[in-house]
Each structure stands twice: as C-alpha cells, then as structure tokens.
Amino acid sequence: MGSDDTLLSLDAVTLRDRIAGGALKALDLAEACIVRVQALDSTVQAWTWFDAEFVRHQARTLDSLRLSGRPLGALHGIPVAVKDIIDTARIPTENGTALDSGRVPEQDAAVVQKLKAAGAIIMGKTVTAELAYLHPGKTRNPVNPDHTPGGSSSGSAAAVAAGMVPIAVGTQTGGSIIRPAAFCGTIGYKASFGAIPRTGILTQSPSLDTVGVFARSVEDAALLADVLFGHDPLDRDTVPGPHPRLLHLARSDAPVKPTFALLKTPFWERADGQSRAAIEELAGLLGEYCFEAVLPNAFADAPAIRERINLAEMAKCFYRYEQRGRSSLSPTITGALAAGNAISARDYLAALDWRDVLYAGLAEIFDRCDAILTLSAPGPAPAGLQSTGDSIFNGLWTLCGTPAITLPVFEAENGLPMGVQLVGRRGDDGRLLRTARWLSDYISTSGEDN
C-alpha cells in the first residue's frame, strides 16, 4: 500500500487530530485526495466541479493558519465534498439540470458557511440526480461501475466510498442519503428533520428535505454533523436549542447494552432473499437484545402519503423550472410535476397531517428499544444506470422526520455491499449515533471471533 493509500485509509477524526498536532499538513492530505480523484474519477464520475489548484490554495491557507497559533476549527484541514444542490459562493451550483448550467451563487449555503468556519477544505461539487429527484446523473458505483450508485446524492456517496474524500454532505427527501450509501458501501446518516439548516439548498419538498452526511466511520459522521447542526432563523424548521455533542455521544459508552427492534415494515416482500436472510442473521446474533416489532396497518399507506407531499410541493417549488424550459427537463421530472399539479389541496393537507400520526405510532416501539433495526434497501445496487434504485425502506423515516443511519456490514453474493439501517427517535440523534457505533464495533468483534 502506497503512502497516499495509507493516508486515505485513516478516518477523518484521526486526520483532523494529526493536522492539529502538526504531524500532518493539510496540503499533504489534500494532495493525496487530488491524486485519488485524478486516478479514479474518469470511471466513477463523482464530481461535477473539481479544481485541484483551488483545493491546494485552501490547504496552504489552513497550514499557515495553524502555524500562526490561532484556534483551529473542528474540521481544520479536512476535505469535504458538497452535493451540487448546495450553494457555494463563486463556485458553480447547477442542481443537476441544464437549466442551471453556468449558475454561480454569490453566497454560500448555511452548511457551507459552517464548513468553512470549522476549517474544512471544500473539495468540490458532487453529482446529483436532476433537481435531486430520480433521473440519474453520470456517477457510477465505485464497487462495480456497471451498477447504480443510487441517488440523488450519488456523487457524495461514491466520492467517499472511492476514498476520494473522507466525508461529504448530501440531502434526502425520500432515500437520497441512506440508499446510495448502502449501494456504495459507506456510512450514510440522515439527521432528524430540522436539525441542520437548509438555507441556500435547492428546495424540492420543504416538508421532507433533510441534510445528511457520508463517512467511513460513525465517529466521522458525528464529527461532520456536529459542525452542521444548529438553528438558522432563515430555515423555519430549525429551532433554537442546546447544541448536541454528537461526536462525544457517538464515542461514549452506552449505560447498558443497547436493545434493537427488528422492523420488517409492510414492504418486507420487496426485499430480496439475501437481504432478508442477512438482517435476520444479524438479529439472531444480537439474541435477547433484539426483538421483532410490527407496525400498525396504517403504515402500509406511508409511501403514498410521502409521495403525495413530495409531488405537490415539487409542483410548487419547481414551477419556475417548468416555466423557463420544460423541454430541457427529463420525462421523469415533467411527469412528477404533472402528477403534483393534479393533487388537490385537500389531499395534500391531509397527507401533511399523517406525518405526526404515523410518528406517534412508533412511540411504543421506541419506548422498548434504543434503535429500530431494518433494511437500508431491498438489496444490493441494481445493475444498470437507468435507475437510482428503490427507496421503499427509506421514505417512511423521511416522512416521520426521524434520524437514520446505514452501516455497510453485509456483502451480496455478487460482491456488492449491502447496508443495515438504524432509526432513532426524532431529535435523539446522539443516542442513535452511539447505538450505531456500538453495533458497528459489535459486528466487527463478532466477525473476528468467528
């Protein structure tokens, strides 16, 4: 293994600490990432905008800052990829559509401001599905380029999985964090709804849009989310409150061994046999600390409810794109907009009411467990690049606003990764991350024992 490979195998927390202590220069880490991008991106195609000199300039500036003795941010010197629906000042943000080709925002999104304040290196912009919906971008799965990387945060997931960058930011409205992370074999964490501000991010569905992160360890996901969390008066779904210490919580020991609720959901039959067998084997490994839970019948309607909200809000939010150039939009988008325009106000408002009704139906399960254990996707990444895959095991949690994380713990018969998804109470992200880190360690230790 070469020196660059050794460096890029380290987690972001370790890299951050080495840079802060002077054992590693931000420029050396940046160069290693640049080399990896230049070696792999012709195949993976994770980036829609990347400038090596811009990366080097940021790294040199951060190295000078460290030598000055001034305080360092929580992400000092760590390269971060940013999904191309998140505004970056003086850097193109084209939202995956030809209608925004050449668009260069004047101001950073709130999350980019937070990244810069924490000393992160903005590595570049990663590919998104068209307008963060279902029509795929150019990115390929780094494990097998003949398979989809998922979507819509395809570039962010693939860039982390391929080792081009330690951590990345994405968004989820249906399954756009969890599914691509599971398909590409990395960790994907979707925060609780309203935990991370969306100011300066393309609005597709304001009742569902949620920011999340990609990483190679639970601790790295917590490190990045720690920086992004917080209230923003321009995003009315964020609320003032004490800042959770996510990295501290993720690293802490649980007071007792966590308990998990295996939840097959009403859509269990849509999963392939190897995925079902894998999660049942994991439940068996957890033994008495895992019980099977059943959802009320009303949850069978959750996909249709989530889709109704999504499409109705898309029809409003993307009206400007339809007016500017309907012919430049894919049939996937124009079909969704037509469906959204046909939804009545009564049906849309009734769908909104179901979010809290369904979440209340989860209360009894959460009272008995630390996290729900369920599938991240129906199976490994499907072959072909025409689809981003099925979000049937993700949309329910986006609808209910709960935090969710996928861990890359399984491998399919064809060698592709498969994830297991953990879901926590709304707003209890720290506990979910702590439980996820415990489970990741437990599986690793159990594998060593066998």
User: CA-CA distances (angstroms) from residue 218 to 28, 290, 301, 408, 431?
Assistant: 24, 21, 32, 11, 12
Whether 343 and 443 map to the same domain: the answer is: yes
- Count Cα atoms within 13 angstroms, Cβ side, for 407: 24
* Residue at which a domain ends, from 231, 251, 271: 251
Q: Does the annotation count 83 as an active-site position?
A: yes
Q: From the candidates 153, 154, 156, 176, which is the catalytic residue? A: 176
- pLDDT tens digit string along 77-136? 999 999 999 999 999 999 999 999 999 999 999 999 999 999 999 999 999 999 999 999
- pLDDT tens digit string along 290-315? 999 999 999 999 999 999 999 999 99
User: What's the whole-number mean pLDDT along residues 366-385?
Assistant: 98
Dist. CA 83–CA 96, nearest whole Å: 10
Whether 322 and 195 map to the same domain: the answer is: no
Percent of the chain at pLDDT exceeding 90: 96
Whether 342 and 226 map to the same domain: the answer is: no
**Residue 360 token pair:** 């209340």
Q: Residue 1 pLDDT more than 80?
A: no
* Residue at which a domain ends, from 251, 275, 294: 251
Q: Residue 48 pLDDT more than 90?
A: yes
Whether 280 and 136 map to the same domain: the answer is: no
Dist. CA 308–CA 128, nearest whole Å: 22
Sheet holding 371-375, edge to edge: 47-49, 121-126, 79-83, 167-172, 210-215, 187-190, 404-411, 417-423, 371-375, 260-263, 290-293
Domain that includes residue 64, residue range: 3-251
**Residue 209 token pair:** 């849009």
What is the count of structural domains for the chain? 2
CATH code: domain of residue 124: 3.90.1300.10
* Residue at which a domain ends, from 218, 251, 284: 251
- pLDDT tens digit string along 173-209? 999 999 999 999 999 999 999 999 999 999 999 999 9
Q: From the candidates 83, 125, 190, 264, which is the catalytic residue? A: 83
**Residue 154 token pair:** 């395809």
- pLDDT tens digit string along 224-255? 999 999 999 999 999 898 888 999 999 999 89
Q: Does the annotation count 176 as an active-site position?
A: yes
Q: From the candidates 114, 152, 154, 156, which is the catalytic residue? A: 152
